[in-house]
Amino acid sequence: MRKEVRQIQQMLEEQVYIADAAVATALYLSMALGKPLLIEGPAGVGKTEIAKALAIALGTKLIRLQCYEGLDATTALYEWNYPKQLLHLKLAESSAASEAEKEAAIFGEAFLLKRPLLQAITERERAPVLLIDEIDRSDEEFEAFLLEVLSDYQVTIPEIGTIRATHRPHVVLTSNRSRDLSDALRRRCLYHWIDYPSLEKELEIVRAKIPAIGTELSRRLTGVIQTTRTMGLSKIPGVAETLDWANALVALNATELNDEIMAETLGCFLKDETDVATFKAQMTGSESV
């Protein structure tokens, strides 16, 4: 294994992110090739966490763009600060400046509100981590727009001109696969898929994140979660839910998983009424609990 890959893995582990070789390799390549990394996987498996851990590990800023339907350039890229522009015009009313001069003044950088994409491009110190979260929730128009920004890391603002990236940001895109992304976007990115962790890995995550939990309890808890994922529920618990549950158990000073504690804390990882019913029926059916 190349030492850079191992370094990344170690750096992430210091941020309590249990990274396997696949994630570390993907991140290394994304940095080495300067390509965005597209991470797909079910909800709650820690896709967003990767970007966060990466930013801390690299000691750089995390700039996050949360996607939603109807997201457009004014929320993602830049917007003019209208109240400030109006005030400025009012104050300059009595001045002798010509119309053109006034216009040039209010469409300067001082009146520009930088949204995440522009922030990421104009970051001065060092390359930030740009997290474009849940890209599948945005619409096709935005995807096309994003493609343009990601292909040459430059942005044109009619009033100011073209702004080029001072440092290429490390771009991480996440998707829950709620819709199919365009081929063009997929081709632009390196691809990584994160699935639910195996029992061993999940156990490792729980123990690393919540050291207060006992050995036996953490084993039982991850065991139950792993079984739950095979029940065909409508909302399958992710790692985030496992950690919530573990935290709840620690807070309640639980030392074992008995029926009473289970009933009290079920809501930590089951978020749907019919799922609760399915879970109870299957759990009483089997002898595992």
Instruction: Give the interface with other proteins as residue ranges (CB under 8 A).
Output: 1-2, 5, 21-22, 25-26, 28-29, 32-33, 35, 37, 40, 68-70, 72, 80, 82, 85-86, 89-90, 92-93, 99, 102-103, 106, 139-141, 179-180, 183, 186-187, 190-193
Tokens of 162: 């073209």
**Quick check: 251 and 213 in contact, CB under 8 A?**
no
What minimum distance in Å lies between the beta carbon of 166 and other proteins?
Answer: 24
- Of 236 and 249, CB closest to other proteins: 236
Residue type, 10: Q
- Of 136 and 244, CB closest to other proteins: 136
- Of 126 and 177, CB closest to other proteins: 177
What minimum distance in Å lies between the beta carbon of 173 and other proteins?
Answer: 13
- Of 94 and 253, CB closest to other proteins: 94
What minimum distance in Å lies between the beta carbon of 104 and other proteins?
Answer: 11
**Quick check: 234 and 272 in contact, CB under 8 A?**
yes
CB atoms within 10 A of CB 76: 21
DSSP string of 202-225, one letter each residue = HHHHHHHH-TTS-HHHHHHHHHHH
**Quick check: 269 and 228 in contact, CB under 8 A?**
yes
- Of 115 and 280, CB closest to other proteins: 115
Residue type, 244: D
- Of 1 and 273, CB closest to other proteins: 1
What residues have CB less than 8 Å from 96, skipping those under 6 apart? none
What minimum distance in Å lies between the beta carbon of 2 and other proteins?
Answer: 4
Half-sphere exposure of 14 (CA within 13 A, CB side): 11
- Of 115 and 220, CB closest to other proteins: 115
**Quick check: 172 and 190 in contact, CB under 8 A?**
no
Helix (H, G, I), strand (E, B) or coil at 158: coil
Q: Determine the Cα–Cα distance for residues 62 and 54; give it in Å rounded to an integer.
A: 9
Distances (CA, A) of 20 to 6, 25, 108, 216: 10, 9, 47, 24
What minimum distance in Å lies between the beta carbon of 93 and other proteins?
Answer: 6
CA gyration radius, the chain: 24
Locus of tokens 């110190």: 125
What minimum distance in Å lies between the beta carbon of 102 and other proteins?
Answer: 7
What minimum distance in Å lies between the beta carbon of 251 and other proteins?
Answer: 36
What minimum distance in Å lies between the beta carbon of 285 and other proteins?
Answer: 25
- Of 89 and 252, CB closest to other proteins: 89
Q: Determine the Cα–Cα distance for residues 202 and 205; give it in Å rounded to an integer.
A: 5
